[in-house]
A = this chain, B = another copy of it.
Amino acid sequence: MGVNRRYELWAEEQTGRGVDLDWVRRELDALEIETPSWGYGDSGTRFKVFHQEGAARDVYEKVAQAGKVHRLTGAAPSVALHIPWDRVDDYGALARHAREHGVRLGAINPNLFQEDAYRLGSLCHPDEGVRRQAVEHIRECIEIAKVTGSSIISLWFADGTNYPGQDDFRARRRRLLEALQQVTASLPEGMRLLIEYKFFEPAFYHTDLADWGTAYLAASRLGPRAQVLVDTGHHAQGTNIEHIVATLLDEGKLGGFHFNDRKYADDDLMVGSIHPFQLFLILKELVAGLREPELEPQVRRVAYMIDQSHNIEPKVPAMVQSVVNVQTAYAKALLVDWGALAQAQREGDVIGAHRLLRDAFETDVRPLLAHWREGKGLPPDPVAASAGV
């Protein structure tokens, strides 16, 4: 059966369920997933970085590979940078290079953990000089963002301690908040700070921004231009991430995602490869937000970014697979029967409400995605197509 015939039959079923397929396709069109430059170079675990044939060697090659991913998926129009990993002399030239490859430069990620000075922290460091150095580095990133046209500074701090007593929790917190206020003061109009949290690693006793609560409090102190960044691999085992997402949305503080998957810790596997249902449940909260007028503007600005570290799998196919997995889960979330769900919830119909979500999740959306791709001149199976790139 061809793509068109398969889609027609699929569409007939969905329309019969009351789904507005025009809306679904418009929202698929609007879904943009940023890929990270560091996902195209060699990376690995503390035990070994396996060199991948064809792995990008510099930021120009990384941007070019991001361009391939977008050409294959039609859904990954920007690429995030890590500074100083991606430092170049001329960011204007890099931005042009990106445009030539069909993408734009996205979030700028200051690296605050690989200088020797940061052994005991960056913004939380006991030494004022180190904190100043870190603040200056973030300001440098803000300047870069101005040139590249990026609107997001994405902040992840490796700050923490390895041993009880090593440092003072409250003193570190005050240093962090003070330094973040200095950074925020340098932020131009239209640029946002996204503050990431992480349960542990590389700090093993405490992490200064260990959970959404600590990140929220920091973002809250900094005003409307600071929001929280949710990395799906940065939680304690069992944490209900979709609940956190809903809470942050409700507080107007959901800034974006670093998508990846994990079974154990911050494993940085391909998005949705271990817990596809959880990915669907997270995206379902975003789709629900789209449908509420007072939340929609916030949801429209949420940055969907991939952050994964390929150790043994080829880079471009892995990135394409992740983009496809986000699209797949998003498409399923778009099929939820929201009216029936709200009614079942109101009536306390526990199983009925649960089944309405499952109905959407069980639906095979490959006919939809293949058809959507064909309409845009994209390969019907972008992962298969990526192997030959």
Residues of chain A at the chain B interface (Cβ within 8 Å): 1, 9, 12-13, 16, 44-48, 50-51, 113-114, 116, 118-120, 126-127, 158, 162-171, 173-174, 199-202, 204-207, 210-214, 216-217, 235-240, 242-243, 246-247, 249-251, 262-265, 267, 269-270, 273-277, 281, 285, 288, 309, 311-314, 317-318, 321, 328, 341-342, 344-348, 350-351, 353-358, 361-364, 366, 383
Partner of A216, one of B118, B168, B213, B236: B213
Partner of A237, one of B126, B212, B238, B354: B238
Partner of A281, one of B164, B207, B318, B383: B164
Partner of A114, one of B48, B169, B199: B48
Name which residue of chain B comes closest to A243, CB basis: B206
Partner of A239, one of B236, B243, B281, B366: B236
* Complex A-B, nearest 9 residue pairs according to Cβ-Cβ distance, in ascending order: A213-B213, A236-B236, A169-B246, A165-B357, A237-B237, A204-B267, A45-B202, A364-B364, A163-B354
Q: Are B262 and A353 in contact (CB under 8 A)?
A: no
For A243, A285, A347, which residue has the most chain B Cβ atoms within 10 angstroms? A243
Partner of A164, one of B46, B274, B348: B274
Q: Are B250 and A170 in contact (CB under 8 A)?
A: yes
Nearest CB in chain B: distance from A103 CB, A: 22
Q: Are B47 and A113 in contact (CB under 8 A)?
A: yes
* New contact pairs (13) apart from A126-B345, A199-B238, A200-B267, CB-CB < 8 Å: A46-B46, A47-B113, A47-B201, A163-B269, A165-B344, A168-B342, A171-B345, A173-B247, A210-B240, A237-B237, A275-B277, A277-B277, A318-B351
- A263 and B265 CA atoms in complex are apart in Å by 12
- A262 and B216 CA atoms in complex are apart in Å by 27
Q: Which residues of B contact A12 (CB under 8 A)?
A: 1
- A162 and B308 CA atoms in complex are apart in Å by 13
Task: List 29 A-B pairs, Cβ < 8 Å.
Answer: A45-B202, A46-B46, A47-B113, A47-B202, A50-B119, A51-B116, A119-B312, A120-B312, A162-B313, A165-B354, A165-B357, A168-B345, A170-B288, A173-B246, A173-B247, A199-B238, A200-B263, A205-B274, A210-B243, A211-B211, A213-B213, A214-B247, A217-B247, A314-B351, A317-B351, A318-B351, A321-B351, A351-B383, A363-B364
Nearest CB in chain B: distance from A371 CB, A: 15
Q: Which residues of B contact A321 (CB under 8 A)?
A: 351, 355
Name which residue of chain B comes closest to A295, CB basis: B170
Partner of A165, one of B158, B236, B356: B356
Q: How many copies of this chain? A: 4
Q: Which residues of B contact A162 (CB under 8 A)?
A: 267, 269, 311-313, 350
Q: Are B169 and A264 in contact (CB under 8 A)?
A: no
Q: Which residues of B contact A318 (CB under 8 A)?
A: 351
Q: Which residues of B contact A127 (CB under 8 A)?
A: 348
Q: Which residues of B contact A363 (CB under 8 A)?
A: 364
Partner of A126, one of B50, B116, B317, B348: B348
- A281 and B118 CA atoms in complex are apart in Å by 25
- A60 and B351 CA atoms in complex are apart in Å by 26
Q: Are A169 and B351 in contact (CB under 8 A)?
A: no
Q: Which residues of B contact A312 (CB under 8 A)?
A: 119-120, 162, 350
Q: Which residues of B contact A328 (CB under 8 A)?
A: 362
Partner of A213, one of B201, B202, B212: B212
- A213 and B220 CA atoms in complex are apart in Å by 12
Partner of A240, one of B13, B206, B358: B206
